Structure 1
């Protein structure tokens, strides 16, 4: 198991990922340990974001990507998402809600973001009634479909 974790971390590092993110995504160390032990080595802002459509208890359809913000890349709407996060100082709950009308159809969407922003650990999870509500509340951060 250790050998495959090391190989996975190496792949992420070769892609230019900050060491903290590589270790976290490879599962080499728990999130808090990776972030606290390497906090001073990496100063970039990054989040690994996932969106699960459907009931998470039954597995749902999960998509994920890495959002890097120094410079913005790795995400289909990276520039928009990074700008919104900068305005909210990295707090996803601080992104202003967009005034839109969403249907009342229940199609649950669970989002998760883990990473680091301005040297602080980010661990955010929330379930929304549908994708429209998710987009209204979180802007481009979890907009993984383009």
Structure 2
């Protein structure tokens, strides 16, 4: 329960709900222009919940490449999974596609950073109903 713990005592701290139970996915921006007016919907009693059952999940939700050697190319695989029940033009409901993220480690700028330079980018993945953000982080060894 959100109000009491397993021993029946009132909770001292608020329970943090996982992102899958919250109304909105983390690192996503809804596309209000397209999303609800014409989207195909399934309205059965088993799906009549408050939970938003459409959209995509990124597995893993972020890419951390660690320390990279300058001048080398590195790659990571991310799975884009359609966890919704609505149809999608790109990936059918329940199916997934693999995305390959490649990064060429290169330091831009001439200042001395002490041997490591941190890079951080958010890759935008546009779907029919939302824009997913995939954070990519790495440190380049100068």
TM normalised by structure 2 equals 0.28
Could you say which structure has the higher strand fraction?
2
* Higher alpha-carbon Rg: 2
Quick one: higher RCO (CA 8 Å, sep 6+), 1 or 2? 2
TM normalised by structure 1 equals 0.28
